[in-house]
Amino acid sequence: MTVITSSPAVPPRSRVAAPLIEAEGLSVSFASETGFLPAVRGVDLRLEEGEILGLVGESGSGKSVTCQALLGLLPASSTFAGCLRVAGETLVLGDALAFERLRGGTISMIFQDPMSALDPLMTARAHLHQRLRRHERRGDGEERMQELLRRAGVSDTVRVLDAYPHQLSGGLCQRVAIALALAGEPRILVADEPTTALDVTVQAQVLDLLDDLRRARDLAVILISHDLGVVAEICDRIAVMYAGQIVETGPVDAVLEQPAHPYTLGLLESRPLLNGPRRKLRAIRGAAPLPNALPSGCAFSPRCGRSAAVCQVPAVLQPVRSTSSQYHSAGHRLARCHLPLADGAHG
């Protein structure tokens, strides 16, 4: 089994306030020529103040769509269902005005590719000016713009403010995107693959920045990532998605070191290691099912080496506990599996 060592999480605190995000039964489908295709299926999600939740899974597993639903950014061709509370406010998923009121101020998003998320015809100053006018109506706010860039880790603020996206490196564009996301002083930040296409040094700087923001401002963060190493480094909890569903969730140390779901184990065993003995990568066989061809039972069963007759029945998220005393009381863990791995047992 691949073992990923994570950095120490923020010490647990007594939480008296309600979670900043509570989603129950969140489902999203998109219209197609053959009918509606399910992209997200019955997702339950919870995010506490000052917490970083890692949302991981293969491309097409529903990670970005889930977070777009939290911000009310779904296209008109979609249908959705479920219950959602953001910062204590119950939202109707189709209420565009309610989402618009919260977006940017209460909850904000860093999009996946900063080079395409930023308008190539606008300088960083114009981007920030536009965002500040929307949230604060304070005119140019030169000092405020420089303050936001400094908070995002930019030292040469004057040069960056006058630059167009093509004149900045990928790392600086990402920092401008982070400054834009912080302009409305949000309590929740969704970061969609924030280190994509950045070199490892800049990746580390961006991750450190997100962690510093969380610690300094009690910012709650949902980090979407393919990189389990990134998730292990700064996340407190992890939610693993497959075929539009969460298949395992729990404290990051417990899930990554003793996974209960075969898909989580497959993700771990398919990643290359930079240290330790050389070994052949164990790829997950087959491919993820298309939304219009989902298996009748467990969505992962056609690719699972432990599949049995019971797996033809849909599985639900169930509590699991580790056989190791180290993780016996590590926190609430759930896995969507009839036959959890030997390291976990239904409690």
pLDDT at 286 over 60: yes
Q: What is the mean pLDDT of residues 262-278?
A: 86
Q: How far is CA 302 from CA 28, 56, 284, in A?
A: 23, 20, 11
pTM of the model: 0.88
Q: Distances from the Cα of 222 to the Cαs of 45, 77, 105, 130, in angstroms?
A: 10, 25, 16, 25
Residue 1 above 70 pLDDT? Answer: no
What does the alpha-carbon distance between residue 148 and residue 153 come to, in Å, rounded to a whole number? 9
Which CA distances in Å does 113 have to 176, 234, 245, 252?
12, 21, 25, 26
Say what the pLDDT of residue 313 is: 94
Please state, rounded to an integer, the average pLDDT across all residues of the chain: 87
Q: Quick check: 83 and 23 in contact, CB under 8 A?
A: yes
pLDDT grade, residue 326 (50/70/90)? low
Q: How confident is the model at residue 227 (pLDDT cuts 50, 70, 90)?
A: confident
Boundaries of every domain in the chain: 263-346
Q: pLDDT band for position 10 (50/70/90)?
A: very low
Q: How many CB atoms lie within 10 A of CB 306?
A: 14
Lowest mean pLDDT among 4-13, 44-53, 302-311: 4-13
The reported pLDDT for the residue numbered 137 is: 53
Average pLDDT over residues 6-24: 64
| 67 and 222 Cβ atoms separated by less than 8 Å | yes
For residue 189, give the nearest of 18, 52, 293, 322 by alpha carbon: 52
Burial of 200 (0-12, 13-18, 19+ CB in 10 A): exposed
Residue 282 has pLDDT above 90, yes or no: no
Asked whether the predicted pLDDT for residue 86 surpasses 90, the reply is yes
Q: Are 51 and 116 in contact (CB under 8 A)?
A: no
For residue 236, give the nearest of 71, 13, 3, 37 by alpha carbon: 13
Confidence band, pLDDT 50/70/90 cuts, at residue 93: confident
Q: Could you identify the residue written with the tokens 């700064």? A: 234
Q: Of the ranges 42-51, 208-217, 338-347, which is most confident?
A: 42-51
Share of the chain above pLDDT 70, in %: 89
Tens-place pLDDT, residues 23-70? 999 999 999 888 899 999 999 999 999 999 999 999 999 999 999 999
Q: Which residue has the tokens 């169930």?
A: 318
* pLDDT recorded at residue 39: 95
Q: Quote the pLDDT of residue 317.
A: 92
pLDDT the model gives residue 34:
84
For the chain, the distance separating the N- and C-terminal CA atoms, rounded to the nearest angstrom, is: 23
3-state helix/strand/coil string of 53-100: EEEECCCCCCHHHHHHHHCCCCCCCEEEEEEEEECCEEECCCCHHHHH
Q: In the predicted model, is pLDDT for residue 126 greater than 60?
A: yes
Q: How distant, in Å, are the alpha carbons of 127, 131, 192, 221 from that of 106?
A: 19, 14, 17, 12
Phi then psi for 136, rounded to 5 degrees?
-125, -20
Is pLDDT at 138 greater than 60 in this prediction? Answer: no
**Dihedral sign (CA 232, 233, 239, 244):** negative
Question: How far apart (Å, rounded) are the C-alpha atoms in residues 340 and 56?
Answer: 19
Burial bucket for residue 217 (CB in 10 Å: 0-12, 13-18, 19+): middle
For residue 346, what pLDDT is reported?
Answer: 38
Q: Which residues contact 96 (CB under 8 A, 6 or more apart)?
A: 72
1-10, 90-99, 161-170, range with greatest mean pLDDT: 161-170
The residue whose two tokens read 């400094």 is 150
DSSP label at residue 12: P
**How many whole angstroms separate alpha carbon 324 and alpha carbon 140?**
57
